[in-house]
Structures are given as C-alpha cells and as structure tokens.
Chains A and B, each alone.
Chain A
Amino acid sequence: MKKVLWLYEGEDNVPLPQIQAVEEKIGVHVEVRSLGEDFSSENLEQVLILGSSFSWHRERLLEFALQRSINPLQVRFFPWQEVQRIFPTTASKLLEHFLVETLKRRESYPAQVVKLLPERKVLVLPRLEKALQEVFSRFGIPVYSPQPPFLVERDGVNFVLSGESFHEKVGSVVLFPEWQEEPPLRIPMEVEETGRILPLARFRNLLSQKKFREKTVVFVVSPQSHSLKDWEEVFALARDLSRSQKAKIWVLAEEIMVAAPQFERLYRETRSEGALFEKTKISTIVLQPTLDMQGLWVEFETERDRYHQRFRADWVVYVPKRSPLPFGASSWWRGDAPIEVFFDLENPNLPRFSTSLQGVFIASQFDEEYFLELAQTVDTYLTQGKIAVSDCTSVEEEKCVLCLTCLRTCPWKAIEIEGKSKRKRAHINWEQCHLCGICMAFCPASAIGVNSLYPEDFFMITTTGSGEK
C-alpha cells in the first residue's frame, strides 16, 4: 500500500492525537517526519504527503514534490495552525475529517507524472553579448545565436529553430532586444515647440531650476512602461510637488500600478496630497499649445465615466514607452493569436525575466550581475523543467461545442483547437496553462474541468459547524 507522510518543518505542532485517532479508524499508518530529513535513499513514487501549514510551508512542500517528481496532486495541506486559531472548538474534528477524506480518496488520483526537461541549450536573440555568453558557459549552458533568417517553432517544452543550413533544438529562448524610448503619444510640431512637454529624465534635471508653485503638471505614463522604478518616481514627484509647491498634479495612465505592496501606500499618500489620477487611453490624449505658447491644452476622456476633460497644463511630463527595435523574432504567435512577450515590466505578478510564454525570457540591461541573475533563472528552469500532471485539466470531448470561448478568454493563450472537422476540440497546452481556471468558468457547456493543485473539498472542511456571525 502507499506510504503516507506528514511532513512538518521547524516548530510546527503536529496534531499527533488526531492522526493516531484516524490511523486506528481506517487502519493507515502515517509517518510523521521533518522536511529537513534526507529522503534521497527512499522511493517516494507512490507517497501521499500531508502538510500542516498552508502559507509559505506549502510552497516548500510543492518544491519538495517537484524535485522528487511526485505528482503535486499527492501533496495535500491542512492549515492546522490557522484552523486551530479560527475554529478552536471544531478544529480537531475538521482535521480528522480532512484526514479521513484524503486518505480514503487518494486512490482516485492516478499519479501519471510526466517530467518534461527542456534541452539544455539557449537561443539568444537578436544578437549575443560576449559577456553573456561567458556567464552562460559558467553554468555550462551552450548558447546559440545564429544569423537570420531562421524559423523558431515550439515543440513541447522545447523550441526548434531551423534555417537552411542548420536545425537546432533549444530548451529556452532569451530575448535581448534593444529598447528604444519614444513618447507614448503623438507630439505635433507646434506642441514640441512650446518646450513644455518632455520625458521624465529631462524633467528631473529641470526640478532644481524651475519653480512649480501653483503650476499644473501632467504626468503621462505609457502602458508599455510598467517599470516599477518609473512608477515609484512618478508617485514620489507627484507627491512632493503637490506637497511642497502646491502644484496641481495630474497622472494619466492606462493602468495605475499599485500591485507592489509599498506602492499601495505611496499611491494613497499621493492621492491625499491632492494629486489627481485618471485612467485613460494614452493614444487618445490630444495636446494643443496655448496662444502664449507658455502651456498646453490637454484633452482626454476619462475611462471611468467617459467624461471629456480639457484643461491647461504648464508642463507635460511623459514616461517614455520602451518598445524593442524590430528584429527577426519581434512577434510571437500561437496559432493565429499573437502572444504578448515584449513587455519590459518588473511586474510583481510575473517572476523576474519571464514572459507569458514558458521558457522565453526577456532581458533589458547590460551589466554583469544582471547577466548572472538571468543565467541563474534560466539554469533553474532548464534543470527543474516543468512537471506536467496529465489529469489536472480536462476537456470533455463530447461536451465541447467549439464555441472558442476558452480560446478567447484564456489569459495565457494556452488553449488551441485540435482535430479535424467535427472532431475538432479545444485542447489545453500544459506548457502555458497556469491553472487559473478562467476557461472553466467561461465554458458555456461546462466541458472544461480543472482539478487544481489544491484540495477541492476545502469548502466542506471549513464550512462544517461554524455558521453564524
């Protein structure tokens, strides 16, 4: 029979009595061991792992499973600490319930683990820096950067690049585009002439020379530059100008970046200083010089209520949009859907360097430790690869009505249509699926199922007993 482990770490208090109770109840032996121990000698193929904490500990356990190619579905958690605190009375009952449930139903998870390790080779586009090459060689990763023209195609977790002379299979692609900075909106000649519109960098120098008392300053942040630095600076400038010099501040952007924790605070402070934030389509902002050429008329439509704004600004400061200089591979497609790969954002939502396309990394800076970091990321990706559990998402062929909704709604472009004529069906690509389950929610025929990496009987667990406020 399978082995059942309860892994604890540090000073987790392991709920021994409950476990024993359950052991007697259904006659399963649960080994309680520390995560620190050395499991290398044992065969953990068929093991069921239980953990006691739900927060950071969970990641550790998943990592643990990942490295030993254990089906993540075999790793289950019970937030013992939290549940104890929240439902002190019913906690142990809940736990027992959880144990019984999981131990009883563990057979129902066929542990088909496919380990897809990418080729240990990297393609660098458009051209290869000497420094980078030697950094990669330090990690023992061969690097390619052949002369165009050639074709890059995805094949499983790998990329096949084929030119007329060569045919290579690489595990990962590193994009090193040269970024060009340009204003996010069209600036007419006459507006340019006023000299009242300038990029953030130039404005920085201006701060010391000019006075902004009672002046109106407009910051225009282009959607392509969600770079945290820029945002931080914009927030700071906006706050200080309006605080110290009573300047009237507008910040116009398509999305206002508050994801990073400290930004929440910055944003609120800046608001409280009286700076105005407006979401609007940057490309639709219209600029006109005032008659005295001492300012600009700014015209735009707020996204909230489609309200047409028009006011006079003394200074318009734009955070330039950074777009890659076009080169051979500047657009990526899956089927006929373009994939957003080129955004140089340190978006806290995405891991560093990574793009929405698994195995494709993007870099922008040219210095030693930056390279090192990059190389490390790529290395870890190549060594750990990706565990694909074949029954995590499923498309019920006979239910699918080919409405293409999933294809359109999937944020990761992970879905494509496979098969011929009437047999066509939606198919979810593992390399890209992030298990968000959005397709499942949208599918009108409820043909898509996502058994996520988390116990789906969680609801039952926390609901028992504790109802009333």
Chain B
Amino acid sequence: MRIASVGCDRQGFPALLRFLETFPEYRMDVTAVPCLGTVHESMMLHILEDGYQLLLLAGCPLDSCFNQKGSEFAFRKAQRVNALLTEAGIPKRVACAFVTADKIGEIKRVLESIVSGQKGEEP
C-alpha cells in the first residue's frame, strides 16, 4: 500500500529518513514541516486524495514538543480525520508516531499495527 508521511523538522523528519535507511523494505513518501502542529485536517485529506492509503505523522514526543502542543494538536486532528473517514466508510487512515530522532522503532510498530489492523478488516 502507498504510504505518505509527514515529519516535524526537530524529530519526526530525521527519524523518518533514518527509518527508511534502516528498513529498506518500507517505501514511503516523506515530507517535512516545521512543526507537526502545521498539519491540518484538509491538508491530511488532500494528501490521502493523492492516492495514498495511509498518512503517517511523525513528531516530537507528546510532552516534549518544541512548540509545546504541536504534536498533541496534530494527534487530535488526526483522530478527528480518522473519525470522519470511518464515518464516510473510506478505507484510508492517518496514523501518528511520536518519536525522537534516534528512536525509530516506534514508527515500525505503528506501521505494522496499522497494516495488520487493515488485514484484519478485510475478510
């Protein structure tokens, strides 16, 4: 499945790139934003419209976001978008991974859980 990912410049984006190095089996399209708080609902949906099944948001740990609440905002927005998508019955999702630049296992975990979850959905 096609995955797009957005990372914040402080932690998320470096982590994403490092992740792609260490796990070459994953291919995803990466973009950077100054802070995850920049990502808003319509932006997420636009990205999903570009034919991705999954949008992965990677940002600083919730309680140590440089902009204090950026990651949290993004997280809440993502939840809202997911709610909308489920409501509308669209099989696309937005996932969040809160990472530090050197801790990329989280990304893998999130991706795997999502993938397995979707497998579960399909009978």
Contacts and interface: CB of A to CB of B under 8 A. Distances in A.
A86 B100 contact: no
A438 B26 contact: no
Please indicate which of the listed interface residues A54, A257, A349, A468 has the most CB atoms of chain B within 10 Å of its own CB: A349
B2 A86 contact: no
A307 interface: no
A183 interface: no
Interface in B11-70: 13-14, 17, 20-21, 24-35, 37-40, 43, 50, 61, 63-70
Contact of B63 (A258, A440, A452): A258
A349 B65 contact: yes
A27 interface: no
A442 B37 CA distance: 9
Interface in B80-105: 100, 102-103
A308 interface: no
Contacts of B67: 411-412, 434, 436, 438
B33 A437 contact: yes
A410 to B, nearest CB: 9
A458 interface: yes
Interface string A254-267: 01111101001000
Contacts of A36: none
Interface string A429-469: 00000111110111000000010111000110011001111
B74 to A, nearest CB: 8
Contact of A438 (B14, B29, B73): B73
Nearest to A466: B27
Contacts of B39: 441
Contacts of A458: 31-32
Contacts of B43: 441
A437 B21 contact: no
Contacts of B3: 469
Please indicate which of the listed interface residues B4, B34, B70 has the most CB atoms of chain A within 10 Å of its own CB: B34
Contacts of A453: 34
Given A453-B34, A467-B2, A469-B1, A82 B21 contact: yes
Interface residues of B, number: 42
A55 interface: yes
Contact of A462 (B31, B38, B61): B31
B31 A255 contact: no
A188 interface: no
Contact of B40 (A412, A442, A467): A442
Contacts of A466: 27, 29
A348 B100 CA distance: 12
Contacts of A411: 37, 67-70
A156 interface: no
Please indicate which of the listed interface residues A259, A349, A412, A441 has the most CB atoms of chain B within 10 Å of its own CB: A441
Contacts of A442: 40, 73
Given A86-B17, A452-B34, A441 B40 contact: yes
Contact of A435 (B2, B20, B27, B34): B34
A85 interface: yes
B103 A436 contact: no
A264 B60 CA distance: 13
A79 interface: yes
A257 B64 CA distance: 8
B32 A454 contact: yes
Interface in A52-83: 54-55, 79, 82
Contacts of A469: 1-3, 25-28
Contacts of A409: 73
A30 to B, nearest CB: 23
A23 B90 CA distance: 46
A462 B73 contact: no
Contacts of B66: 349, 434, 436
A467 B4 CA distance: 9
Contact of B70 (A55, A257, A264, A438): A438
A436 B37 contact: yes
A264 B100 contact: yes
Nearest to B20: A86
B31 A459 contact: yes
A255 B102 contact: no
Contacts of B21: 82, 85-86
A252 to B, nearest CB: 15
23 contacts: A54-B13, A54-B17, A82-B17, A85-B21, A257-B63, A264-B103, A411-B67, A435-B34, A436-B35, A436-B37, A436-B70, A438-B69, A440-B40, A442-B73, A450-B34, A450-B38, A454-B9, A463-B4, A467-B27, A467-B29, A468-B27, A469-B3, A469-B26
Interface of B: 1-4, 9, 13-14, 17, 20-21, 24-35, 37-40, 43, 50, 61, 63-70, 73, 77, 100, 102-103
Given A259-B64, A459-B29, 17 more contacts: A255-B63, A259-B61, A259-B63, A261-B100, A264-B103, A348-B64, A411-B68, A411-B69, A412-B67, A435-B34, A437-B34, A440-B38, A442-B73, A452-B38, A462-B30, A463-B4, A469-B2
Interface of A: 54-55, 79, 82, 85-86, 255-259, 261, 264, 347-349, 409, 411-412, 434-438, 440-442, 450, 452-454, 458-459, 462-463, 466-469
Which 7 residue pairs of A and B lie closest in terms of their CB atoms, listed nearest first? A259-B64, A437-B38, A438-B37, A436-B67, A459-B31, A441-B40, A463-B29
